[in-house]
Amino acid sequence: MHTGTLATALACCALALPAWAQAPGGYPNKSIRVLLPSSAGGPVDVVARTIGPGFSEALGQQLVMDNRAGAGGVIGAEIVANAAPDGYTLMISHSGPLAIEPLMQIKPRYDPIRDFAPISLVAATPYLLLVHPNVPAKSVTELVKLAKAQAGKLNFASGGPGTGIHMAAELLNVAAGIQVTHVPYKGAGPGMTALISGEVAMMFNGLPSALPQVKAGRLRALAVAGAKRTALLPDLPTIAESGIVYDTSGWYGLVAPRGTSPAIVAVLQRNLAKALATPDMQKRLADLGIDPIGSTPEELARFLKEEQAKWSKVVKAVGIKPH
């Protein structure tokens, strides 16, 4: 399911869990560590730190954001998978660790379905196709022509193998019949730094992280990767408008270690939904191009299975070999 449709479909379910659900031991009664399996400045970081204050206020406890980038998000995810299931170690993650990266490993370090307790889809945001200003392409069509004329010579940055922004570029390679070479970095933030410096030619990144760089003229946005244009850049076309069959977006989910009490999960889901529903939070997210969701745990569990099935086919189609 497309994340835009998902956001609409789940909005009415945001407060579905019963208000009387209470966790044992007065949970939460101390600060909560939230692993972010990406670098500072990346889309996950922006989403988490935007919702963090409201979520913290709703819970009545401090949220300590802990960036653990590396291995496409696997390093941070593994920490959470092996953490005590007491509700005091959580993860806000992108699609890489929860749906893609384990599919690319010969011996996965964890199972995204088995080793996490789903809490809620948090938000979705469009990806932008970005190029360095020196790249002589002002549209997707021109970029495709350039890539075909220089087969294998253009390169693109990502936040690591198996991240959503890596796979977005691989999808474009397949859909457009081009060969742009992957250059992985330890997070979307370092990838953006490389793109801004001209070390690489192209990159996909989430709108919240990309927009300031585009507005400052440090990067050129060629298109929106999703199914529709964004209100923050209304003149920017989608990739599909260039005639290429293409549609992918970023999404972010909240999970806990396997075995976390359903009552604790209910407290977390309910308070996240409460935080996302406030007018102030919705405005702040909208200003960044982020769509709040706030699903039930069951909906996130189903969504993760659908995403794994979808990306499994893409990994095979692209020809990425497990490592």
Of residues 275, 282, 278, 287, the one with CA closest to residue 54: 275
Determine the distance from the C-alpha atom of residue 36 to the mean position of all C-alpha atoms in its chain, rounded to a whole number.
11
Residues 6+ apart with CB under 8 A from 114: 258
Q: What is the pLDDT of residue 23?
A: 62
- Domain covering 3-125+249-318, topology: D-Maltodextrin-Binding Protein; domain 2 (3.40.190)
Per-residue pLDDT of the chain (323 residues; tens, 9 = 90+): 444 444 444 444 444 434 434 566 799 999 999 999 988 888 899 999 999 999 999 999 999 999 998 887 889 999 999 999 999 999 999 999 999 988 888 888 899 999 999 999 999 999 999 999 999 999 999 999 999 999 889 999 998 888 899 999 999 998 999 999 999 998 888 999 999 999 999 999 999 889 999 999 999 999 999 999 999 999 999 999 999 999 999 999 999 999 999 999 999 999 999 999 999 999 999 999 999 999 999 999 999 999 998 888 888 887 887 77
pLDDT score at 62: 97
The whole-number pLDDT of residue 322 equals: 72
For 126-242, CATH number? 3.40.190.10
CA angle 210, 214, 216 (to 5 degrees): 120
